[in-house]
A = this chain, B = another copy of it.
Amino acid sequence: MMAKRIAIGIDIGGTLTKVGLVDREGNLFGHTDFPTTEKKSFQDYLDRIKDTVDDLLSKLDFDYELVGMGVGAPNANYYRGTIEYAANLIWKGVVPIVADLKKHFDLPIHITNDASAAAIGEMIYGEAADMRDFMVITLGTGLGSGIVANGQLIYGHDAQAGELGHVVIDRNGRWTGLGRRGGLEAYVSSTGIKRTVFHLLCDSMEDSVLRDYSFNDLHGEIITRAAEQGDSLAQQAFEMTGTILGQQLANFTTFSHPEAFFLLGGLAKAGKWIFEPTKKALEENLLPFYKGKVKLLPSGMMDKNAAILGAAALVWNN
């Protein structure tokens, strides 16, 4: 029997580093994670990755051929194989992670940012296998985006394309983490909807179960549950969030005319509460010749280990 071809997928997050072994069909043959900050030095961190991969490989009970390694990370530069000035990671400046990993692994290694990895994952393992033009919007702490046009991921001149969370939608609007006003992710993300809840708690005197939560204690699932239990304020928060997202997806359509937008991440898990107002606002705001032609879909990676699969997909895409 032929050896099974396996890719290593690694997702480096501010909190956790996730590692898994994935085949071309998206089957996961073992995965694990460890705290990204567990090791103080970057060299120790690389050793930790090496040990973790070796451990996972040692448990495989079939012949395999390692095809390559894909890494998803914030502020990753695909062209240079670096992580650059990542605000949420402990290593500062420019980290030549691909070159360093190659000292441990004699394999092709690719890195890109997490939302771009998700878009490639959608092509390889998700619902976009037959699509040449689509976008993946990740709704987590912030809003990330991976854009595919002509069947290729758009990397941009210096590998920093797809920062749609920072599109300014209101010049007098909410502050973002980058010290600017009105960035989209200040409204549309797990954090954004929390901020909208707090806006509504301030703006009205309406009763709501959400009046019992501090900002730090409030999480997306609590807002979803409140909406499901009929809490009008929670429902309004979803309505406002989806409306803004739909309006902006209509704007994004004028760039690359995608066949579909896929939503992924914590806020996307709220299901109809976020999808319905988004779809309505998208359709209402599309130009006449786009109407009825742009799909809004849950990511095909939603219930899978999207972070590891997205990273592994880089291997099959290269």
Known: A178-B287, A254-B166, A287-B178. A133 touches B150 (CB 8 A): no
Residue ID in chain B nearest A133 by CB atoms: B157
Taking a contact as CB atoms closer than 8 A, the residue among B154, B163, B251 that contacts A287 in the complex is B163
Verify if A17 is at the interface (C-beta below 8 Å from B).
no
Q: Bound state CA distance, A126 and B47, in angstroms?
A: 50
Q: Bound state CA distance, A258 and B254, in angstroms?
A: 16
Taking a contact as CB atoms closer than 8 A, the residue among B178, B251, B290 that contacts A168 in the complex is B251
Residue ID in chain B nearest A164 by CB atoms: B254
Q: How many A residues have CB within 8 A of the partner chain?
A: 42
Residue ID in chain B nearest A260 by CB atoms: B157
CB distance from A218 to the nearest CB of B (A): 28
Verify if A62 is at the interface (C-beta below 8 Å from B).
no
- A161 and B149: CB pair below 8 A? yes
CB distance from A228 to the nearest CB of B (A): 30
Taking a contact as CB atoms closer than 8 A, the residue among B156, B289, B290 that contacts A257 in the complex is B156
- A164 and B287: CB pair below 8 A? no
CB distance from A83 to the nearest CB of B (A): 13
Verify if A236 is at the interface (C-beta below 8 Å from B).
no
Please give, as numbers and ranges, the residues of chain B lying within 8 Å of A106 by CB-CB distance: none
Q: Bound state CA distance, A147 and B178, in angstroms?
A: 27
CB distance from A252 to the nearest CB of B (A): 7
Verify if A159 is at the interface (C-beta below 8 Å from B).
yes
Taking a contact as CB atoms closer than 8 A, the residue among B133, B162, B171, B180 that contacts A156 in the complex is B133
Please give, as numbers and ranges, the residues of chain B lying within 8 Å of A180 by CB-CB distance: 287
Q: Bound state CA distance, A161 and B152, in angstroms?
A: 15
Q: Bound state CA distance, A290 and B85, in angstroms?
A: 13
- The copy count of this chain in the complex is 2
- A255 and B258: CB pair below 8 A? no
Known: A164-B254, A164-B255. A149 touches B158 (CB 8 A): no
Please give, as numbers and ranges, the residues of chain B lying within 8 Å of A168 by CB-CB distance: 247, 250-251, 285
Verify if A293 is at the interface (C-beta below 8 Å from B).
yes
Verify if A29 is at the interface (C-beta below 8 Å from B).
no
Q: Bound state CA distance, A127 and B65, in angstroms?
A: 46
Q: Bound state CA distance, A161 and B259, in angstroms?
A: 11
Q: Bound state CA distance, A125 and B211, in angstroms?
A: 62
Residue ID in chain B nearest A255 by CB atoms: B255
Known: A85-B289, A287-B178, A288-B178. A258 touches B156 (CB 8 A): yes
Binary CB contact string for chain A from 118 to 146 against chain B (1 if under 8 A, 0 otherwise) = 00000000000001110000000000000
Sample of 9 further A-B pairs with CB below 8 A, known A152-B152, A160-B289 = A133-B161, A149-B150, A150-B155, A161-B257, A162-B254, A164-B254, A166-B254, A168-B250, A178-B288
